[in-house]
Amino acid sequence: MTADNGFAGLGLADRLVERLARDGITDPFPIQAATIPDALAGRDVLGRGRTGSGKTLAFGLPTISRLVEQDRRAQPTRPRALILVPTRELAMQVSDALQPFVHVSGLSHRLVAGGLSYEPQISALRRGVDLLIATPGRLQDLLERGAVHLDDVEVTILDEADHMADMGFLPEVTAILDLIPDGGQRLLFSATLDRGVDTLVERYLVDPVTHSVDEAQAAVTTMSHHVLLIDPQEKKALTAQLACRSGRVIIFARTQLGADRIAGELRERGVLAAALHGGLTQAVRNRVLGAFRDNTIPVLVATDVAARGIHVDEVSLVLQVDPPRDHKDYLHRSGRTARAGEEGTVVMFALPHQRGMVTKLVQQAGADATITRTTSDDATIRSLGGQMPSGEPVPDDAWRPILEGRRTQRGGPRGHRGPRVPREGGRPRRSPGPERRPRRGTMGE
């Protein structure tokens, strides 16, 4: 195992290396090879890497390994390690990614996030949790209820700290970090150090070792970037043609209403698409994202905030129907494709009067974008994989089962891309009870 397994030489516990090998994982990503030895040594770590670069295992594996070495169990309501993440969806994905390694190590872990029932979370904390994965808002709620105490936390991890800053979570984050005793290990991962992230580093990390591997801007090198100058009346047709290409497609809209509208228009033209935004309940968002992940729904129309929870491999195209606010949002959107070394395509629509603005934006993002005047079904669209949709509205019965948690038939011909999905519109639905209390930076836009 040692001779051809790159993880074996990093110092991880044998059981973790063996569990990785069972899944065919033997070669660490650059961020993992750089970070894991320092994390195992107890050093504070500042990791700078984009989404898809392997950060979850970079901080999760050494944390689990260190907890095993200490050979003690968590006391009721007192977790031993804490991972803070900005969104529920990301918390779920971190939890899923680490679960096999927590299990094989004989440890316990728990996810606590808004939109999920309080009682199972509180019950698990009472039994004792070695590794706690949390969003700042829900963790602060549980702290106020006395359901969790942070006095025993020895390892603290902040994942996607820049996104937590973007979503207004820094006050909650600092309040939480102030409750954790000094002397423990801190690992902070972020694509950028602006918007207050640098203050977190200075205040809470002690002599950190910095690993800048595959930073956010480096993501643009594994993608092809295209700015399409279009007329307003062509926008719907072009959107449908690009959405009809092979592979998973994510379309970005500026607002919740815009996401609902675009998804509905695509379905009317024969393309199975669903919207993902903060106006949907947590259960519906989970089902829509799950259907996108298993390719039951091949096209997702998302808002910027909701898309922070989308970490799905093999997204072939990101289509930015509305230009983003700035180059950082452009990088965030683009980062949904070309994950983990894959290649991807990024397309942004621009109306004629927006040409100067979008040209500056992609230059600031470090992207080498091709700017082309485009009309529907021309050579440019075909070169990007676009094709004419069927034009036949798909029937209702593949979308409602997904929302309602029932079984549905998978997929359909690519030109038809599945049954029709009625529009998500209407008023945003909220969960009953205490979950209705709004929190800054949860999934609402």
Sign of CA dihedral 110, 138, 82, 23: positive
Residue 426: per-residue pLDDT: 37
Q: Are 298 and 417 in contact (CB under 8 A)?
A: yes
Residue 308: per-residue pLDDT: 67
What the block records as the tokens of 16 is 């973790």
Using a 10 angstrom Cβ sphere, with 0-12 exposed, 13-18 middle and 19 or more buried, the burial of residue 429 is: exposed
Residue 132: per-residue pLDDT: 98
- State the pTM of this model: 0.63
Strand order in the sheet with 45-48: 109-112, 131-134, 81-84, 155-158, 185-189, 45-48, 209-212
Which 3 state secondary structure label does DSSP give 345?
Answer: strand
**C-alpha to C-alpha distance for 204 and 157, rounded to whole angstroms:** 11
Residue 417: per-residue pLDDT: 46
Region of 424 on the Ramachandran plot (φ > 0 left; ψ -120 to 50 alpha; else beta): alpha
| Average pLDDT per consecutive 10 residues, the chain (445 residues; last block may be shorter) | 72 90 84 91 85 80 93 92 91 90 95 90 95 96 96 95 86 95 93 82 93 56 84 94 93 93 94 89 84 90 77 86 86 76 84 88 82 88 92 79 64 44 36 33 33
Residue 275: per-residue pLDDT: 92
Residue 258: per-residue pLDDT: 94
Alpha helices in 244-354 (DSSP H): 256-268, 282-293, 327-334
**C-alpha to C-alpha distance for 128 and 76, rounded to whole angstroms:** 4
Residue 437: per-residue pLDDT: 32
Hey, what CATH class is 217-404 in? alpha beta
CA distances from residue 182 to 49, 146, 151, 216 in whole angstroms, order as listed: 26, 21, 10, 30
| Domain residue ranges in the chain | 8-214, 217-404
**C-alpha to C-alpha distance for 228 and 369, rounded to whole angstroms:** 10
Q: Are 311 and 282 in contact (CB under 8 A)?
A: no
**C-alpha to C-alpha distance for 392 and 410, rounded to whole angstroms:** 18
- In CATH terms, the superfamily for domain 8-214 is P-loop containing nucleotide triphosphate hydrolases (3.40.50.300)
